[in-house]
Each structure stands twice: as structure tokens, then as C-alpha cells.
Amino acid sequence: MEITRRNFVKATAVSLAMAAAGAAGAGALAGCSSEKGSSAGASKDGTTTYTGVCRFCGTGCGVTVQAKNGKIVSVAGDPDNCSNKGLNCVKGYYLGELLTGEDRLTKPLIRDDASTKGTDGGLREATWDEALDLVADKLRTQWKDDKSKIGLWLSGQQPITEGYLSNKFWKAGLLSNNVDCNARQCMASAVMGFMNIFGTDEPAGCYEDLDLADTFVTWGANMAEAHPVLYSRFMAHKMGGEGVKHFDLTTVKTRTSANADKVMVFRPGSDIAIANAICNYIIQNNLYDQQFLNEHIQFKMGTENLGNAFDDGYDKTPAGAAANDVTPATWDQIVERFAPYTLEYASQVSGVPAADIEALAKEYADPNRKIMSLWTMGVNQHNRGVWMNHCIYNIHFLVGKIAKPGNGPFSLTGQPSACGTAREVGSFCHRLPADLLVANEQHRRYTEAIWNLPEGYLDAIKAPGMHTVKMFREMSKGNLNFLWSAHNNWAVSMPNLTRFLGLKDEYKGIFSCFTVVNEVYPTKTTQYADVVFPVAMWMEREGQFGNGERHTAVFEKACDAPGEAWWDNKVFLEIALRVLDGEKIGDEDAFDTLFGQIYDKNAHDFKNDMHETNRLLWEEYRTFSNPDMNDKAKAIDANADGKFAGPMHMKAKQLAPYDVYFDQHDLTWPVREVNGKWVPTKWRFNDGGSQEDGFDKIGVEEMGTPGKYGDLSFYKTPNQRPSFVFRPYEPPAQEPSDEYPFWFCTGRLLEHWHTGSMTMRIPELKRAVPDGLIYMNAQDASKLGIADGDRVKVSSPYGSVEITATTANRFDCAPGYTFAAFFDDRVLINKIVEDLYDPISKETDFKKTCVKIEKA
Amino acid sequence: MKSTNKPKMLVAGVVVATMAFGFAIAGCSSQPKSLATTNDITYAEGQPPLMPANDHQGRWESLGVKGCVGCHGYNSEGNPINAYATQIPDDHYVNGDHNGQLTSEREQCIQCHPLDDPSTR
């Protein structure tokens, strides 16, 4: 037997788990002989090994889970998973404990008196029938009366089939687009960037680029805390590679800055000026790749002077309504617009030395260096988030470094299935599955074909619904009467909670909006719920996540949910069954048309077991990316009757049959069948190698133009030319003032996941970071008479909170800058965070609120 | 250009290549029986112990991985070097061989072993 590192790590992982379960010897042998895709199965002592995926960040780490007597006893990294190769971070190793908090929700809860909202009390236990009937009655009544006042808020932490099913219910069953998700607050700017530029959502590269690049540039990304395993991967390459460099562009020095060769601390919002100066430098010094631009790129300009979305009516202002408009431009026009962005100008705006910006520009332009740009919330949660996404792509386009091994811009995703569930499934108010848009007639016809709906049925939802901030703003004003959320904790994660939690007299809508929450633990959000549905979490059911590299992985059911907690899909189907009772689609029963293939409405149960139910849902969902599976869809995809602008190229996102993922653990789409085997695509649009080696050979041959410059063919863009859009620097929505002199930025820490509702229940993680802290510059603190550990009052135009201040250097803040994570619901830091959003993506800028700080 | 900040992870001077196979088997079946204990807290096997804060505050920030292997790693004097330190598990080394080099992906020790005392931040 060949001993490889993978074998060793896997053997060790299984061995550890078996040891924990009291069967070290047997486990070790099973682990030593286990090969990729072969589950160890049950051992003699009843311990069983399952394939899983971490349920925290967007890295999508595969894990090996051992369960015994209905409980998870061990979690280890899965060396067979291509995304993490056996590594975990501390959250991943303690995953098993998140299931066993003492206060798991095990029975449905009902609130009879809405005046008790916002308190610890007021919820009573109920039967499932009572809770389901109540919710269904409220939803159906409001739906019949005025469906513009219902809303569904989903999550990038739902498995794919759950997101798919709930979207189908809301959009096709209720004909409502008032469905959005927390990925709006996380990845929407990246999404709009992808769609505007490439006509397809998700990056062209993959995590393997982390092993291949010569230079890494992090733009507003604290990977060491927010994507720790990916940070370890690229740091391993940096430490072991010859001359590998890292430039870190950030507003606050972080752990990610610690090992960087150059840290460029810039003034908030000035990243666009820096990026444009890099472009200008490359242009002025003739360092661009002329042939790449000639063969592959189209130039555009967009609406400018957008203002900011402070007011509820912003979207309908001239600037707001035209925010996403673009017009063609010439190269000369583009050059002229970049010309003012000299190194000196960018330095003046950003505070970054001109020499550092020049050094980075040279790094991008060096034809002998492969370069990878990595970004996350610093770029996306930005009042010009889509613009900044464009700016990064512009740099890569100029030098022709994209979609090649070790070369390319790479947007890091925040949540475990923000890509798979929110984006690929279409949990947005303007989207349908697989990147399709409600506003596009061809897309609606295609969706109708797969969902077996009459032609024209989805025309009722051709107008986008309410995006996230709009939904909560309307709710706060009493204009939303029914809100259902699942797998998120919006009462902690949303911005401007002072308004949304009804803490201002003019915004009391939360108290009159009938609120339903699918949850696993009591949270701040359940304190505002009228009904709480207890549901299964993580590996208490089978599911699928799609991570940041177009990578789909499955997780098996390893144990039962506690008490009376249900699988979310059963909750949604039981509500659908009640709300759609007697409704027709065409001449057919509405519920049976939509869900009859999986659910027996008379038996109130699934027709098959959980795996088969998931498989059936997956096979329907993957028809969107496999049009050959449905003749009607196939004809629409090909634009066979010439009715539409052209072919849709839906195979660009091709997914494999469900069981393939159980054989191979994980696959990066588009997944292509080659000689009977399904193989992933690592570098999309690139046919410079074989499909088996991860290149997009089949995609380019079938939908693109082989033989183009650089072996690239961007076949999802209508004219096969991605858009290079000039975007100017426009200042942040707020600037520090005498009244609010500090910049305040919020984000994540390594030890806690988002709002802390899970990780604060894991004793080791809570012990590591038990309290939310605001990080300050030591000189600033001293001037205010604040010592490390003092309680302070932090106020913004939106509200105020009390929190403990620290000058520790985990976040090394320059004078005038502060940072706090948002996991601590006792602090509720988002009470002070602005709720204005990017005009195109509608994603909130969580990074640039201005605050004042006083000793409490 | 050669990277200048590559840490010296080779904490043992001799690699016994002929032992690799045997050690791998050992790795499957002879993991440490004793559970890690820090600050009087016992961790289940497979769960990374947190750093005790009383004497670890600021070490990661100032020393990085070198500060960890300097006590918890292996050399000719012992494994771990500091007899009072918790031993780095063998699966953290290339091919599970503690005579060799720490696996480069595991050099960000803080990502699995944060401090456990709030008073230290």
C-alpha cells in the first residue's frame, strides 16, 4: 500500500474518531484501507463514519464525521475533499458540539401576545398542527389580500435542495418575488459584478490557484480569520515557494497583514482610486496586453454620481433607477477617464505611498508573474461594491491575467452555501435558478418548462420583488405583514437594528408584522417571532453546499434532530400544502404540480426516504444546467424557434447526477461527462488543456470559440467579450466629523460564526472569545481617558451601544479607526451600523459607519 | 528571489526514510492515549486544545509558528522540546514523521489553537 500524505491524514482522522468512540484499533484499520468515496460504514462497536461539510464559512471544508449511538463523537478534516485537503480551523474541529447545546429548540413555539416581542418571554409550546395551521392561515390570508406585503428571507447556510424548494414555493406557488436572503448582505456586489462582466455568476478560477500564484493581493479580506483554511493554504505556498509575495490592502491591519510583504492601509472607500491608478499606470507605461484586449474585451462606462441610498425612496430616484446602466465606450475614452488617476492622486486620496501603488502595479503587469487577487467583504460591503469588483477585473483584463492556473481575480464567499444555495438556486428577489432572471422572458419560459408550468405563468413575477434592506425598511414602517426567515439570525446580523427592532417610535412595524422563524436555538430573532419552527441542523439531515470555487459537496445524515424538530423541507411543504389547498395551476392541482413528485399530500409525508427525496429535487434542479434532460427546455435553451436573442448556454453551469457526489464527495462545476466519468472544471473559459486536467475544453468547444488568444473563450457573454467598465472614485457615504470622529468597521472573527448563535454555545469557542470588543488605537483611547477593558458607549447617527474597549493588537487600528465583530448579541453592535447600500447590488456597507466613543 | 521569511520548521535533524511506512501504520493505531490538558481543561481527542493564556499571551503575535515549535516541537533533547509543553501530534508533520518538517499548511497554529482566557486580549 502506498503511503501518501492523504492516506496518512485520513487514517489519522478516522483513528482519532474511533479512539474517541472507544474503538481505536478497528477504526485505524478501517481508516488505513479507506479510499476516496468509500464510506467506512459501521464498525463493530456501532460507530459509523459519514462524509460531511463544515457548516460555517464559504471555504467549504470537507469533514469526516463519526457518530455512535445517535450522537456525533468526532469531526476531522476530510483529506478527500479537494477544497481543504484534510485541514480544518478551530470552528471545524468543534462542529460536533454545535448540535448539543442544552437549549436546542425541540417543539414549535407560538407567541400569543405581540407586545412581548423583544423579550425573553411570551413564547409557549404548541403542537406542529397548531403552529402550521396558524402560519398557513396568516400567510394565505395576507397572500389573498395583498401579496406585496409578504416576505421570505432565506440564507446562504441552507442546503441547496432546501433553498431550491422554498424558492419554488414562493415564486411559482405564491407568485411572489418578495424573497431574498442574507447573501444579499454578503456577496451581492460580487454577484452583480460577475453578471455584468461575464454574464454568469461565480469565478473562473479555483482554490488550486492558491498553490500556483507568484503574487497574492488581498483587497479588503481578513482571510486569516474569515477564511482560515484558505489563508493557511496560500501561506503554506508562500512560505515554501520561491519569491512568492503578498500585498495586503486594508483599512485596519489584521492577522492577514502579519505575514504580508507589503501592507497598504488605505482610507475607507479609496480602494477604487488605488485600483484606477494601477490601471492608469499600466496604460501610461504600455504594460497592457493589447492582444487580449483586442480579442476578448468590450469597453463600457456607466452611470456616475450615484449619491447614496440613505432614503427609503432611493431606488426610484434618477440616479438610483439608472445605477446599473452602461454605455459602450472606446479605448481612447477609457484611457482619457483613467488619466487623472496618477499615483500621486491615488496616494493623496488613499494615504498609501505612491511608491507602494507603483510597486503593486508593476507586480500586476509583470508578464512573468502569476497573480491572484482575493477579496471579500471589504470590497462587497461597500457603497460602491459593484464598482470595486469591476475595478479589480479591469486590472486583470488589462494584463490578460484571468482564468489561467495561478492567475486571476477570485471573490471569496462568506457562507457555506452562499454560492450553492443563494446564488445558484436563485434566492434573490430578481433571480430564478441557475443565474436566470425574472425580468427575462426567455428565462421565464425556460423555468416554466422545467417546472411544468403553463407558458406565460411566470409573467406574473417578471418584476423583481423587495431586496433585503427594502424588505426590512418596509417592515419597520408597517408595510410588511408577514415575514418568514430560515437559517439566519436577522435580529443580530441586519444593519440599523435600532430601526428594524422597533427601538425608534416611528418604526414599530416589527410588532405588527407576523413573523415566522425556522431555528435551532433561541436567538434574538426568535424573541421577535410569532411562531418558531424547530428544525434540523447540519448533519441531522442530508444536504448539499456550494462553496466559493463553484464546488458542490454533499453531507450525509449522521444523526437525528432532537425532540420534534423537523427537516426544513417538510415544514415548507406542510405550509405549501395548506396555503395552496384548492389552488390550480392551469387545470391541475397547484401543490401536486409543484411538489407532487416528492410529497404525498394525503399522507402528509414524503413519498421516499430523505436521500431519494434529495435526489429527486437535485435531478429537477440540475435540469436547469442540463437542458438535454427536458426537450422543451432544450429548445428554449437553443433558441430553436428564433424567438429570443440567442442561445442561453445553460450547460455552462452543468451539474452531475446526485449520486456522483456521493461517490466523489465534491465536484467543481461545470461538471462534464468524459468517457463515462464526471470530471470537474477548475479553470472556466480556458481550453488550454484537457477536460480531465481541469480545463474547460468541452465548454469552449460546445459554446465558445476554440483557438482564441490565451486559450480563452468567454462564452457566456453574448458577444463572448466580458465588459471592462470604467468606474470613478466617489467618496464614502459618510466622512468622520467633529460629532462622529471615528471610522467604524464590523466583521467576523476566527472563533465565532456570524451572530454567535451556534459558536457561543460551543464552550471552547466561547471561552476563547466570550465577549464582543471594540478595537481602538491606543493613542485615541488614551486621549479619551479609556483604558484597555473599559466599558464605552459607541454612538452613530443610527443608535448607540455599550461595549468593552480594547487596544490589543489583534486588529491594529490606525488613529481614527475602530473595529468590532458582530457575534455578541448582548452588545448588538449593528444597532449603530448604517443601512445604506450599494446602488446596484443593494448590499449594505457595513464597513464605513462614523461613530463617536465615550467612556461609559 | 528566495523568500526571506520562511520559518525553520526542521526541528529534528535526521529523517529516517526507511521508517516512513512503519510510522504511517503506527499513526493509524497508536495515537496518544492521554488527552490534551491545558488550564485544567481536558479536550476530547481530535479537538485542538486552546492555548493557556497565562503564559502564552502575545506569543503568536511576536513569534508566530517559531514560538510554538520552540516548546511543543521536537529536537534531539525531547519531544516536546519543553517537557511541560503539549506535544505537537505526529499528524502535524510531513508524512506523520516528527523527525521531519511541520506540514506547511499547519504553520498557522493560532487558527486551531486560540487563547482561552478573555483577560489576555
What value does the mean pLDDT of chain A take?
94
Query: What SS3 state is found at A546?
Result: strand
Q: Which residues of A touch B24 (CB under 8 A)?
A: 3, 7-8, 11
So what's the pLDDT on residue A5? 41
List the Cα angle A844/A209/A414 in 5-degree steps. 25
Q: Which residue has the higher pLDDT, A266 or A763?
A: A266
Q: Order of strands across the sheet with A723-726?
A: A326-328, A298-302, A723-726
Which chain B residue lies closest to A773 (C-alpha atoms)?
A: B121
Q: Which residues of B touch A28 (CB under 8 A)?
A: 28-29
Mean pLDDT of B37-65: 78
pLDDT tens for residues A422-446? 889 999 999 999 999 999 999 999 9
Q: Mean pLDDT lowest for which of A125-139, A615-629, A662-676, B26-40?
A: B26-40
pLDDT for A796 beyond 70:
yes
Q: Mean pLDDT lowest for which of A282-286, A301-305, B6-10?
A: B6-10
CATH 2.20.25.90, chain A: domain bounds? 5-99
CA pair distance A280, A343, nearest whole angstrom: 8
In chain B, % helix, strand, coil (3-state, to 5) comes to 35, 10, 55
List the Cα angle A119/A123/A129 in 5-degree steps. 155
Which residues, other chains included, contact A391 with Cβ-Cβ below 8 Å and sequence gap of 6+?
A271, A272, A275, A276, A279, A727
Q: Which residues of B touch A773 (CB under 8 A)?
A: 121
Q: Are A42 and A102 in contact (CB under 8 A)?
A: no
Q: Give whole-number Cα distances, B45 to A18, A24, A74, B35, in Å.
A: 10, 11, 8, 6
Secondary structure E strands in A220-356: 245-250, 262-265, 298-302, 326-328
Overall residue count recorded for chain A in this entry: 856
Tell me the Cα Rg of chain A: 26
pLDDT tens for residues A87-101? 899 999 999 999 999
Q: Are A562 and A135 in contact (CB under 8 A)?
A: no
Amino acid at B54: N
Whether omega before A79 lies within 30 degrees of 0, making that bond cis, reads: no
Q: Which residues of B touch A764 (CB under 8 A)?
A: 43, 47, 50, 116
Partner residue opposite B28 with nearest CB, options A12, A771, A808? A12
Mean pLDDT of A807-829: 96
What architecture is the A188-415 domain classified under in CATH? Answer: 3-Layer(aba) Sandwich (3.40)
Q: Is A505 exposed, middle or buried, given 0-12, 13-18 or 19+ CB atoms closer than 10 A?
A: exposed
Which of B21, B41, B56, B121 to substitute to test the interface with A, most A CBs within 10 Å?
B121
Q: Give whole-number Cα distances, A699 to A167, A627, A682, A714, in Å.
A: 28, 14, 12, 10
The CA-to-CA distance between both ends of chain B, in Å, stands at 37
Cell of A376: 471579500
Q: Are A207 and A668 in contact (CB under 8 A)?
A: no
Are the Cβ atoms of B91 and A750 closer than 8 angstroms?
no
pLDDT tens for residues A711-723? 999 999 989 999 9
A28-42, A450-464, B15-29 — most confident range: A450-464
Q: Which residues of B touch A771 (CB under 8 A)?
A: 118
pLDDT above 70: percentage of residues in chain A: 95
Query: What SS3 state is found at A711?
Result: helix
DSSP calls for A133-174: HHHHHHHHHHHHHHGGGEEEEE-TTS-HHHHHHHHHIIIIIS
Q: Give whole-number Cα distances, A63 to A52, A300, A671, A702, in Å.
A: 5, 44, 22, 35
Q: Order of strands across the sheet with A62-68?
A: A41-42, A48-53, A62-68, A71-77
Are the Cβ atoms of B28 and A32 closer than 8 angstroms?
yes
Quick one: which H or E segment has residue A701?
A: helix A697-703
Query: Strand pairing partners for A806?
Result: A775
Is the Cβ of B67 closer than 8 Å to some Cβ of chain A? no
Q: Are A774 and A806 in contact (CB under 8 A)?
A: yes
Query: What SS3 state is found at A429?
Result: coil
At A272, phi and psi to the nearest 5?
-65, -40
Query: Strand pairing partners for A151?
Result: A483
So what's the pLDDT on residue A569? 98
DSSP assignment letter at B95: G
Which of A2, A8, A57 to substitute to test the interface with B, most B CBs within 10 Å?
A8
So what's the pLDDT on residue A673? 97
Cell of A565: 424538530
Which of A1, A15, A262, A760 to substitute to test the interface with B, most B CBs within 10 Å?
A15
So what's the pLDDT on residue A21? 40
Cell of A635: 429548445
pLDDT tens for residues A736-773? 999 999 999 999 999 999 999 999 999 999 999 999 99
Partner residue opposite B24 with nearest CB, options A8, A13, A809? A8
Q: How many CB pairs under 8 A join A and B?
A: 140
Cα dihedral B10/B12/B13/B15 (nearest 10): -90
CATH 3.40.50.740, chain A: domain bounds? 109-185+419-535+567-615
Query: Strand pairing partners for A215?
Result: A245, A371
Are the Cβ atoms of A15 and B110 closer than 8 angstroms?
no
So what's the pLDDT on residue A38? 39
Q: Which residue has the higher pLDDT, A823 or B18?
A: A823
Q: Which residues of B touch A240 (CB under 8 A)?
A: 6, 104
Cell of A208: 488550486
Q: Are B115 and A243 in contact (CB under 8 A)?
A: no
Are the Cβ atoms of B46 and A244 closer than 8 angstroms?
no
CA pair distance A518, A436, nearest whole angstrom: 27
* CATH homologous superfamily, domain A5-99: ADC-like domains (2.20.25.90)
pLDDT for B61 beyond 90:
no
Mean pLDDT of A687-706: 97
Other CB atoms closer than 10 Å to residue A329's CB: what's the count?
19
Q: Give whole-number Cα distances, A793 to A762, A805, A854, in Å.
A: 28, 9, 5
Query: Strand pairing partners for B88?
Result: none
Pick the CATH number of A742-855 from 3.10.180.10, 2.40.40.20, 3.40.190.10, 3.90.1150.10: 2.40.40.20
CATH 3.40.228.10, chain A: domain bounds? 188-415
Q: Mean pLDDT lowest for which of A141-145, A151-155, A418-422, A452-456?
A: A418-422
User: Where residue A655 falls among pLDDT bands split at 50, 70, 90?
Assistant: very high
- The whole-angstrom distance between A600's CA and the closest CA on chain B is 43
Whether omega before A670 lies within 30 degrees of 0, making that bond cis, reads: yes
Query: Strand pairing partners for A796?
Result: A799
Q: Is B26 exposed, middle or buried, given 0-12, 13-18 or 19+ CB atoms closer than 10 A?
A: middle
pLDDT for A23 beyond 80:
no
pLDDT tens for residues B92-118? 998 888 888 898 888 999 999 998 865
Q: Are A423 and A187 in contact (CB under 8 A)?
A: yes
CA pair distance B86, B72, nearest whole angstrom: 6
Active-site residue set of A: 91, 186-187, 377, 414-415
DSSP calls for A637-653: HTTTTS-SSS---GGGG
- The whole-angstrom distance between A62's CA and the closest CA on chain B is 15
List the Cα angle A836/A837/A840 in 5-degree steps. 150
Q: Give whole-number Cα distances, A91 to A51, A63, B38, B48, in Å.
A: 17, 12, 18, 10
So what's the pLDDT on residue B41? 58
As for the ipTM of the complex, it is 0.86
Partner residue opposite B3 with nearest CB, options A3, A14, A239? A239
User: Where residue A46 falls among pLDDT bands split at 50, 70, 90?
Assistant: confident
So what's the pLDDT on residue A208? 96
CA pair distance A531, A130, nearest whole angstrom: 10
pLDDT tens for residues B33-48? 334 555 555 667 678 9
Is the Cβ of B48 closer than 8 Å to some Cβ of chain A? yes
Name residue, grid cell 473595529: A819
User: Hey, what long-range contacts does A560-563 have (CB within 8 A, 24 or more apart)?
Assistant: A560/A70, A561/A534, A561/A535, A561/A536, A561/A537, A562/A104, A562/A106, A563/A104, A563/A105, A563/A106, A563/A107, A563/A534
Other CB atoms closer than 10 Å to residue A2's CB: what's the count?
6
Which chain A residue lies closest to B92 (C-alpha atoms)?
A: A9
So what's the pLDDT on residue B18? 23
So what's the pLDDT on residue A33? 26
For the domain bounded by A109-185+419-535+567-615, which CATH number is listed? 3.40.50.740
Q: Order of strands across the sheet with A262-265?
A: A262-265, A245-250, A215-219, A371-375, A408-411
Amino acid at A157: Q
Which of A83, A208, A237, A239 to substitute to test the interface with B, most B CBs within 10 Å?
A239
Which chain A residue lies closest to B90 (C-alpha atoms)?
A: A12
Are the Cβ atoms of A768 and B116 closer than 8 angstroms?
yes
Closest by CA to A637, choosing from A343, A398, A434, is A434
Are the Cβ atoms of B111 and A750 closer than 8 angstroms?
yes
Cell of A400: 490578460
What number of helices (H) and strands (E) belong to chain A?
28, 34
